[in-house]
Amino acid sequence: MANKWSIDPIHSEVLFRIKYLVISSVTGQFTRFDGEISSETEDFNGATANFQIEAASVSTKVEDRDNHLRSPEFFDAEKFPFIKFTNGKLTRNGGEYKLSGDLSIRDTTNNITLDVDFGGSIVDGYGQKKAGFKISGKINRKEFGLTYDAVTEAGGVVVGDEVRLILNIQVVKQKNI
């Protein structure tokens, strides 16, 4: 029987980092997301995962930039309210884990593979079984229809193409009913 695990949003974060003006990077996050993992094993090998992010919850700590990211030039959050990761499969090879699945941003879906560091599992002080994962990787934003291409007066690129993803995820085992 598969065990169901739900993301604990209080102890999880979804971050991204992208080059800005070629000389530095901007780090942002999404503040509203949820997801679940289904696993037959304690080590999560072969587990399935599905995840969704509210696109409008993007935050880079700069209101004008956040509004631009929500606009049709980027996420078009009004028309495409969710960024989704579906058909996820977690596999272990030795001590290394990979998470492969379909990432959908706007109306484009591509299969991606991310690196996973499984931190283990533990029962907390409230008797809840929890597990932790650090998930990282990179995508090319243009492969997902995010093609905004402004340049500076000097001809430099404003926004890089490569987006680094960093997710620190804690899940809580759901009780079987």
Q: Residue-wise pLDDT tens for the chain (177 aa)?
A: 789 999 999 999 999 999 877 778 899 999 999 999 999 998 999 999 999 999 999 999 999 999 999 999 999 999 999 999 999 999 999 889 999 999 999 999 999 999 999 999 999 999 999 999 999 999 999 999 888 776 555 555 567 889 999 999 999 999 865
Instruction: Please state the pTM of the whole predicted model.
Output: 0.92
Give the other-Cβ count within 10 Å of 32's Cβ: 15
Stretch (H or E) spanning 91 = strand 82-93
Q: Which residue has the tokens 């402004």?
A: 150
- Count, residues in the chain: 177
Coil/strand/helix, residue 89: strand
Residue type, 99: L
Q: How many domains does the chain have?
A: 1
* Residue 148: per-residue pLDDT: 73
Residues 20, 149: Cα–Cα separation, whole Å: 12
Q: What is the DSSP letter of 43?
A: T
Which CATH number does the domain housing residue 159 bear?
2.40.128.110
Q: How far apart are CA 21 and CA 11, in angstroms?
A: 32
CA–CA dist 120, 172 (Å, integer)? 12
The whole domain housing 144 covers: 3-173
- Cα–Cα dist 112/102, whole Å: 6
